[in-house]
Amino acid sequence: MSRLLPLIAALVLVPMTAIHAADAPTVLITGANRGIGLELARQYAARDWHVIATARRPAQAAALAQLAATHPRVAIETLDVTDPEAIAALAEKYQGRPIDVLINNAGIIGKRNQPLGRLDYDDYRRVLETNTIAPLRITEALLPNIAASTQKKIVTLSSSEGSITEVDSPRAYWYRSSKAAVNMLMRNLAFDVRARGISVALVNPGPVDTDMMKGVPMPLQKPSDAVAKVIAIIDRVTPETTGRFWDHQGGELPW
Ligand SMILES: NC(=O)c1ccc[n+]([C@@H]2O[C@H](COP(=O)([O-])OP(=O)(O)OC[C@H]3O[C@@H](n4cnc5c(N)ncnc54)[C@H](OP(=O)(O)O)[C@@H]3O)[C@@H](O)[C@H]2O)c1
């Protein structure tokens, strides 16, 4: 009987893997209920990909629900990226299902207007949990799914604010350092998983007109334009170019 077990397991697992390998690719996006995440879900759905769109409060994600109603390949899953049990439960649910592209998109900027002398360190913990720790924890949990896919890509939405070289004035201690740290985590990861054919990319979408940028006085891109550029970058990522910090304008950003 014990010799038959691997055969039985193969027969159970192969159809699921085969269906999705022969079918359209699958992308999993965190924070897909609004902003850049929602637009990523829309554009991958328009390409007819399978989209696993996660949100921490799907009941309040009306625009995402509308997308799923018109695109049967869009599945909505509940995920607070700072909740390790929720991450484990999602990985368990999708065990055996290849995920071609994981997009760590969910992010927060932290409280605005924190002058030196009144910095809120609890806020820093929340920013680090969301922007830095969560992308690695989710990647770790879903690594078997990514390794089992055809495209094998891990993408994290970073920011030019995470470029240490580009800092020449003070602002946003928490956000800037959380993005610089996730850059390091992902570059490190890139060399850990390269031998398995997995590619890792950090992408700066540039300034985009989302809730995160409300009231920021600078020219902002439409989410549809910015996300089209982000997806074009993701399409070009390969194991040869793994671990790079891509800018929305096409080049690379300095660390
Ligand atoms: N907009 C820009 O100009 C810009 C520039 C550079 C980089 N980025 C990066 O791009 C990514 C998306 O930004 P955005 O502009 O779309 O921001 P946004 O409009 O503020 O949306 C943030 C998304 O992250 C989700 N999120 C936050 N905390 C979460 C948690 N604990 N669990 C699950 N989801 C959570 C939010 O969900 P809720 O609705 O539940 O809060 C929302 O879906 C971020 O990583 C950001 O740092 C943005």
| Dihedral sign of CA atoms 61, 65, 66, 71 in order | positive
- Ligand 1 pocket residue status of 214, Cβ below 6 Å: no
Q: Give the end-to-end CA distance of the chain in Å, rounded to a whole number.
A: 55
Please determine, for residue 231, whether its predicted confidence score (pLDDT) is greater than 80: yes
| Radius of gyration over every alpha carbon of the chain, rounded to an integer in angstroms | 19
The stretch 185-196 carries a mean pLDDT of 98
Query: Coil, helix or strand for 219?
Result: coil
Mean pLDDT, residues 62-69 taken together = 98
What is the DSSP annotation of 183-227? HHHHHHHHHHHGGGT-EEEEEE--SB-SGGGTT--S--B-HHHHH
| Residue 3, pLDDT above cutoff 60 | no
Q: What is the mean pLDDT of residues 166-177?
A: 96
Name the residue among 47, 44, 49 with its Cα closest to residue 20.
49
Least confident of 2-11, 70-79, 163-172, 205-214: 2-11
Query: What are the structural domains, with CATH classification, of the chain?
Result: 4-247 (3.40.50.720)
By CB atoms closer than 10 A (0-12, 13-18, 19+), residue 127 is: buried
Q: For residues 144-163, give the mean pLDDT.
A: 98
Encoded amino acid at 143, one letter: L
In this predicted structure, what is the pLDDT of residue 22?
Answer: 55
d(CA 96, CA 219): 43
The mean pLDDT value of the chain amounts to: 93
**How many angstroms does the Cα of residue 5 sit away from the middle of ligand 1?**
44
Is ligand 1 within 6 A of the CB of residue 157?
yes
What's the confidence (pLDDT) of residue 117?
96
Q: 242 CB less than 6 Å from ligand 1?
A: no
Would you say 127 and 74 are in contact if contact means Cβ atoms under 8 Å apart? no
Does 7 or 240 have the greater pLDDT score?
240
Q: Is 182 helix (H, G, I), strand (E, B) or coil?
A: helix
Token pair belonging to 241: 């170019």
CA distance 244 to 131: 18
C-alpha neighbours within 13 Å on the C-beta side of residue 226: 22
Ligand 1, atom 34: closest residue by C-alpha: 31
Q: Best of 104, 109, 157, 233 to mutate for ligand 1, by most ligand atoms within 8 A of CB?
A: 157
Check if 212 has its Cβ closer than 6 Å to any atom of ligand 1: yes
Q: Whose CA is nearest to atom 42 of ligand 1?
A: 31
At 177 the pLDDT is 98
